[in-house]
Amino acid sequence: MNDSLRAFDFERQFDDRVALEWFQQNWGTAFVLSGTYAVLIYFGRVFMKRREKLDLRTPLMLWSLSLAVFSIMGTLRTGWYMFNVVTTHGFRRSVCDTAFYSAPVSKFWAFAFALSKAPELGDTLFIVLRKQRLIFLHWYHHITVLLYSWYSYKDHVAGGGWFMTINYTVHAFMYSYYTARAAGARVPKPFAMLITAMQITQMFAGLSVLGLVYSWKHDVHCVSTMHNIIYGSVMYLSYLLLFSVFFYQSYLKRPADEKREKRE
């Protein structure tokens, strides 16, 4: 690996073997977390139905800021690793690479990425307590990402470096946007459109990576399972459709179309 990949002490000292063992033994906990999350959403909305919505702007700003900083750091560290793999060994190696999970510069961030999908469920708490519209895409996305991330980390599947780096990057922009909005800043509409466009692009990229992993999976250096590839493909395809519909309804659909639908 390139000598420029210098790891910080906390990254180098992180024990990825213990992390892997933990996920292999406990990845099923993601189902418990998802079930608990769904129950809390339902009863939380029932609880808030006859109550005044809470403002929570300051807690939301701090929450979003912490996730933005985390995502920016994850983007820089995993992105630097992936850039070095591509420029040193080529694109195919970057897709099939599994050293991402154990390399000094990226192993902590791979673990942190998978683990972070649990606390990110907290995003929905603010929606429920502030009585905002909770769409299917939001909670479906949170649950399935949690399940797939934990499932994939335990097997150290090929493609993980791209999945995590791209997601870190999108979240860096997304949570920065949420932070600005919670702080009361007027963010231009095109920036929100850009974030959704990035999310759609992420789904195309995810499907492409999984397609390449499938094509190269017989290569000893491109390790994955058919279950992972199928589950991941269904997940990314559903995201692609849902985010595309969201983009159309939020930014392209004209008011006249909405009035026509209501009359029909």
Cβ 124 vs Cβ 37: under 8 Å:
yes
Nearest CA among 96, 98, 58, 70 for reference residue 214: 96
DSSP 122: G
The H or E element that residue 19 is part of is helix 16-26
Question: By the 8 A CB rule, do 78 and 164 touch?
Answer: yes
DSSP letter, residue 8:
P
Give the DSSP H or E segment for 185.
none
Q: Per the residue annotation, which of 89, 138, 141, 221 is the catalytic one?
A: 141
Dihedral (Cα; 22, 137, 170, 213), 10-degree rounding: 60
How far is residue 113's CA from residue 48's CA, in Å, rounded to a whole number?
Answer: 31
The question of whether 141 is a catalytic residue gets the answer yes
Q: Which residue has the tokens 């946007």?
A: 177
Residues 6+ apart with CB under 8 A from 110: 16, 78, 100, 101, 153, 160, 161, 164
Task: Answer yes or no: are the C-beta atoms of 172 and 75 closer than 8 Å.
Answer: yes
Catalytic positions are: 141
